[in-house]
Chain A
């Protein structure tokens, strides 16, 4: 499917579907913690705080009835991780799924990596639509027949059955992280992947679970000297030797695995210079990068800090090429955002298939999109109100100060408990998945 290069004016976002419970009382296990499309966009996976993964599959398009692209329906669901207790360290290990990453499809089965704070698992999701029938020594229900009653022989045959989707853990990559895993990223060689925690990054081979190479270690000899932690890491989409990791101080380091076995010395350091006279107590906290994503082309990378999204050209280290303000009006609310811990919220960001538009979430169930070509931006809301299928979403506006216009919402009315941290964009189409606390919204570009 060709990537749509529609201009900004052509895109009208419409509500398509919403998944999850309607009730306001959210069980902690239902909090969505990650959302990811697979490489074709046919499958959409979510992970939650309860350690469960739910995979949705897009219906095959009905060519005659082309109101919209196919809907996403439940394909498979399974318990990926369980809560654990490390008695030796007195540590509770949450089952919350921090990240899911899909492997490119090689055969009939689908594979994904899912991780909690400590353990990464490779899951195989396969379909079974036939079953063997007509065994000689077994009844249809599985009980064994008395061999003396067998008088004839027959050849068992495969008969069709209702589709069954099975998920099974094929590899468990454990015991390699002392600190909490924040990222996993599959290499473009499709054989290796990296996992990053607060202080270290490890390289794994998908087939090997008992060994892992440490490629970055920023743990200081004396923990009192700790000043920054790793917040995210990702492999370059095309260069299998290149990866980046971001820090809590707002820097991004690009490393080349050909340079040395231990990539503690970066090849490139991306950092925007800060005016020291602008520095405040909050400066470092809001500069902490919560997500880093390469563009599909591999030429750019995007970072998300508390108030903005920045696009960096890999060829230029001293400043980003584009900066987009997500919710600048929060700058005058930093004191209360620090008190209620919202200042530590980790927002993710994503690119569209053609790298022309980027998207990220905000509060009050708002999410923002920035068109890199037209420089226009839009704020939309994920809400069950006024959302009928194929209704075009109405743009939202936040009034920072002064007189509030009719449809605007004032900063003080924003609900900071309604945060959109996780969003995903279909790799080829204008279909987006937006996760509120416990609901998954799917929006589509209006067709026709």
Chain B
């Protein structure tokens, strides 16, 4: 009887040890990284891959142009020149009414792709 117990205990211990090493090798890196992230950004939400992140993905490309404001401004300044954007072209909020001219100009590529013109090796 006692011999059997002695036999059992070593097996149990080895089993636990094995589990520990597995944890150390497999789970720990990712959990350690998670802990690092939570330490830096404690306010990071409960649902990591959830709504906020996905909503941000769906709203890619959103800019702030209000056609109403633009037309109002155009109507008021019929006879005057439209105010220039000023030194800071990126400032499209606040006192300055954004106009299509002020939005970052996205011109199509007039230049041929470098893949088509570059060196051939």
* Chain A contacts with B in 41-99, Cβ cutoff 8 A: 46, 48, 50-52, 54, 71, 73-74, 77, 79, 82-83, 85, 87-88, 90-95
* A249 in contact with B30 (CB, 8 Å): no
Evaluate contact between A335 and B120: CB separation under 8 angstroms: no
One digit per residue, 1 when the CB lies within 8 angstroms of any chain A CB and 0 when it does not, for chain B 13-55 equals 0000000000000110111111011101000100011110111
A248 touching B63, Cβ below 8 Å: no
A445 interface residue, CB < 8 Å from B?
Answer: no
**From residue 1 to 47 of chain A, which have CB atoms closer than 8 A to chain B?**
17-22, 29-30, 32, 46
Q: Please provide the chain A residues from 172 to 214 with a CB less than 8 Å away from any CB of chain B in the complex.
A: 179-180, 198-199
Chain A neighbourhood of B11, CB < 8 A: none
Is B112 among interface residues, defined by CB-CB distance under 8 A?
Answer: yes
B115 adjacent to A46 (CB under 8 Å): yes
Q: Would A249 and B49 be within 8 Å (CB), given that A51-B108, A332-B33 are in contact?
A: yes
Across the interface, which residues of A come within 8 angstroms of B55, CB to CB?
A: 223, 226
Stretch at the interface among A124-132, A277-285, A355-363: A277-285
Indicate if the CB atoms of A92 and B106 lie closer than 8 Å.
Answer: yes
Q: Is A334 part of the contact surface with B, judged by Cβ < 8 Å?
A: yes
Report Cα–Cα, A383/B104, bound state, in Å. 34
The answer to whether B113 and A30 have CB atoms under 8 Å apart is yes
- A-contact 0/1 string along B83-101, CB 8 Å cutoff: 0000000000000000010
When chains A and B are docked, how far (Å) is the Cα of A199 from the Cα of B103? 29
Query: Are A50 and B109 in contact, CB atoms less than 8 angstroms apart?
Result: yes
Q: Are A73 and B62 in contact (CB under 8 A)?
A: no
| A416 lies within 8 A of chain B by Cβ | no
**CA gap between A269 and B6 in the complex, in Å:** 49
Give A30 to B50 CA distance when docked, in angstroms. Answer: 33
- Determine if B75 is an interface residue (Cβ-Cβ < 8 Å): no
A146 in the interface (beta carbon within 8 A): no
Q: Is the CB of B108 within 8 A of A19?
A: no
- Residues on A with C-beta less than 8 A from B50 are 227
Q: Is the CB of A19 within 8 A of B120?
A: yes
A179/B65 in contact, CB under 8 A: no
Q: Please judge, given known A-B contacts A51-B108, A85-B103, A281-B48, whether A77 and B113 are in contact too, CB under 8 Å.
A: yes
A162 CB–B CB distance under 8 Å:
no
Known: A22-B119, A83-B107, A280-B30. A335 touches B36 (CB 8 A): yes
Judge whether A333 is part of the interface by a CB distance below 8 angstroms.
Answer: yes
Cα of A264 to Cα of B67 in the assembled complex, Å: 37
Contact (Cβ within 8 A) A227 B37: no
Closest to A21 in B: B114
CB distance from B47 to the nearest CB of A (A): 8
Assuming the contacts A117-B61, A278-B27, asked whether A284 and B49 have C-beta atoms less than 8 A apart, the reply is: yes
B113 touches A285 (CB 8 A): no
The A228-282 residues at the B interface (CB cut-off 8 A) are: 228-229, 248-249, 277-278, 280-282
At the interface, yes or no: A331 with Cβ under 8 Å from chain B?
A: yes
CB distance from A247 to the nearest CB of B (A): 11
Known: A18-B121, A85-B103, A335-B36. A280 touches B31 (CB 8 A): yes
Are the C-beta atoms of B112 and A334 separated by less than 8 Å? no
- Looking at the assembled complex, report how far the CB atom of B36 sits from the nearest CB atom of chain A, in whole angstroms: 4
* Residues in B neighbouring A379, C-beta threshold 8 A: none
Assess whether B4 is interfacial by the CB under 8 Å rule.
no
- Find out whether the CB atom of A284 lies under 8 angstroms from the CB atom of B48: yes
Interface, chain B (partner A; CB < 8 A): 26-27, 29-34, 36-38, 40, 44, 48-51, 53-55, 57-58, 60-67, 100, 103, 106-109, 111-116, 118-121
Question: 11 interchain pairs (CB within 8 A)?
Answer: A20-B114, A21-B118, A29-B113, A92-B63, A95-B109, A226-B55, A227-B50, A285-B48, A285-B49, A334-B29, A334-B30
- Closest 8 A/B residue pairs (Cβ): A284-B49, A50-B109, A83-B106, A332-B29, A334-B33, A335-B36, A335-B33, A77-B116
Question: Given A71-B120, A199-B58, A332-B30, 4 other A-B contacts at CB below 8 A?
Answer: A54-B115, A79-B109, A87-B67, A223-B55
